[in-house]
Chain A
Amino acid sequence: DGGITQSPKYLFRKEGQNVTLSCEQNLNHDAMYWYRQDPGQGLRLIYYSQIVNDFQKGDIAEGYSVSREKKESFPLTVTSAQKNPTAFYLCASSTPRGDYATYNEQFFGPGTRLTVL
Chain B
Amino acid sequence: AQSVTQPDIHITVSEGASLELRCNYSYGATPYLFWYVQSPGQGLQLLLKYFSGDTLVQGIKGFEAEFKRSQSSFNLRKPSVHWSDAAEYFCAVVPLRNMNTGFQKLVFGTGTRLLVSP
Check if B68 is an interface residue, CB within 8 A of chain A. no
Check if B99 is an interface residue, CB within 8 A of chain A. yes
Check if A41 is an interface residue, CB within 8 A of chain B. yes
* 18 pairs of residues in contact across A and B, judged by CB atoms under 8 Å: A9-B41, A40-B9, A41-B110, A42-B90, A45-B106, A50-B102, A50-B103, A58-B105, A90-B43, A92-B43, A103-B49, A103-B51, A103-B99, A105-B49, A106-B106, A108-B44, A108-B45, A111-B41
Q: Secondary structure of the A side of the interface? A: loop
A103 and B94: CB pair below 8 A?
yes
With A40-B9, A103-B32, A111-B42 known as contacts, the answer to whether A97 contacts B102 (CB < 8 A) is yes
A-B contact count (CB 8 A): 54
B102 to chain A: which residues have CB within 8 Å? 50, 97
Q: Nearest Cβ in chain A — how far from B108, in angstroms?
A: 4
Q: Secondary structure of the B side of the interface? A: loop
Chain B residues with a Cβ under 8 A of chain A: 4, 9, 32, 41-46, 49, 51, 90, 94, 99-100, 102-106, 108-111
Check if A101 is an interface residue, CB within 8 A of chain B. yes
Check if A28 is an interface residue, CB within 8 A of chain B. no
Given contacts A45-B105, A97-B104, 5 further A-B contacts (CB under 8 A): A43-B108, A90-B43, A92-B44, A103-B94, A113-B41
Check if A56 is an interface residue, CB within 8 A of chain B. yes
